[in-house]
């Protein structure tokens, strides 16, 4: 295997696995933070005790995603050039909007405090997540086209679950759901991340082991 291709696959795997790990582990060192109720990006707010390591990780994660783009291209361009480029674009927008922007434009302690930085963060994060939400679907189509039925089925199931959890995440801060299980913003976002990442993580591991 070409070493640069393998490096890209490892970068992709580390970015995704690391994001899941960080989202669950860093809250253990952040007083008054609730993984169930608060978004992942709240770990980077100005009063967070883990602000610096969290923001450094988000920047690193974004760079890792960008470094993985050539590997994504090599992995699937022979199957469908257009779909592969679309997946690369969605990944790049997610890397910049939802990861790197988070490092430089943080949210505040509460959503009641709105600043230019929090607005930029919000816009970048929303666009990044909404596009990357379809990464499992694209992976499913590419996998089926490449006669990888198991990967295709895993990707379809992951897409449906990611869509469900993303919908719950969006609904979580609506006033009418306050005090209900739907208000568990942090939980839904973390579950959404797991199922957005799962198909590409599985493909990366498979390709590394080949």
pTM: 0.91
Residue 68 lies in a domain: yes
pLDDT tens track for 36-83: 988 898 898 888 899 999 999 999 999 999 999 999 999 999 999 999
For residue 111, the model assigns a pLDDT of 63
Sign of the dihedral through C-alpha 47, 50, 56, 57? negative
pLDDT at residue 131, as a whole number: 96
Longest CA–CA separation in the chain, Å: 53
pLDDT at 109: 63
Q: Is residue 64 part of a domain?
A: yes
Is position 95 within any domain?
yes
Q: What's the domain count of the chain?
A: 1
pLDDT band (50, 70, 90) for residue 200: very high
What is the domain extent for residue 109?
3-32+42-209
> Which is nearest to 189 in space by CA: 11, 20, 12?
20
- Examine residue 22 and state whether it is found in any structural domain, yes or no: yes
Which pLDDT belongs to residue 32?
83
- Can you tell me the mean pLDDT for 184-209? 94
- What number is the average pLDDT over the span 90-102? 94
Reading the block at residue 157, the tokens are: 């199931």
User: In 3-state terms, what secondary structure has residue 39?
Assistant: coil
In a domain, 164, yes or no: yes
Q: What is the pLDDT of residue 114?
A: 66
The mean of the pLDDT values for the chain is 91
Is 37 part of a structural domain of the chain?
Answer: no
pLDDT of residue 48: 85
Encode pLDDT of 160-189 as tens digits: 999 999 999 999 988 888 888 899 999 999
CA distance 166 to 192: 6
What are the tens digits of pLDDT across the range 104-143?
A: 887 766 665 667 777 887 888 889 999 999 999 999 999 9
Sequence-ordered list of residues with C-beta below 8 angstroms from that of 109, at least 6 positions apart, any chain: 42, 45, 46, 47
Residue 28 lies in a domain: yes
DSSP secondary structure letters along 62-131: HHHHHHTHHHHHHHHTTT-HHHHHHHHHHHHHHIIIIIIHHHHS---SSTT---HHHHHHHHHHHHHHHH
151-181 in b/e burial notation, b at 16+ Cβ within 10 A?
Answer: bbebbbebbebbbebbebbbebeeeeeeeee
């Amino acid at each position: 295997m070409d070493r640069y291709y393998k490096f890209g696959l490892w970068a992709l795997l580390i970015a995704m696995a690391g994001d899941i790990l960080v989202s669950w582990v860093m809250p253990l060192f952040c007083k008054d933070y609730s993984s169930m109720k608060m978004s992942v990006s709240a770990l980077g707010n100005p009063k967070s005790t883990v602000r610096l390591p969290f923001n450094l990780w988000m920047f690193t994660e974004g760079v890792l995603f960008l470094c993985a783009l050539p590997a994504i291209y090599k992995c699937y361009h022979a199957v469908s050039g257009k779909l592969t480029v679309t997946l690369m674009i969605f990944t790049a927008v997610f890397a910049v909007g939802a990861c790197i922007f988070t490092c430089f434009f943080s949210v505040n302690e509460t959503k009641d405090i709105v600043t230019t930085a929090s607005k930029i963060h919000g816009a970048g994060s929303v666009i990044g997540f909404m596009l990357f939400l379809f990464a499992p679907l694209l992976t499913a189509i590419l996998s089926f086209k490449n006669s990888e039925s198991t990967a295709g089925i895993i990707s379809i199931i992951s897409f449906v679950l990611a869509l469900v959890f993303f919908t719950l995440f969006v609904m979580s801060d609506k006033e009418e759901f306050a005090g209900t299980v739907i208000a568990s913003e942090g939980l839904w976002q973390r579950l959404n991340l797991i199922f957005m990442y799962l198909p590409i993580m599985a493909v990366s591991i498979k390709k590394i082991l080949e």
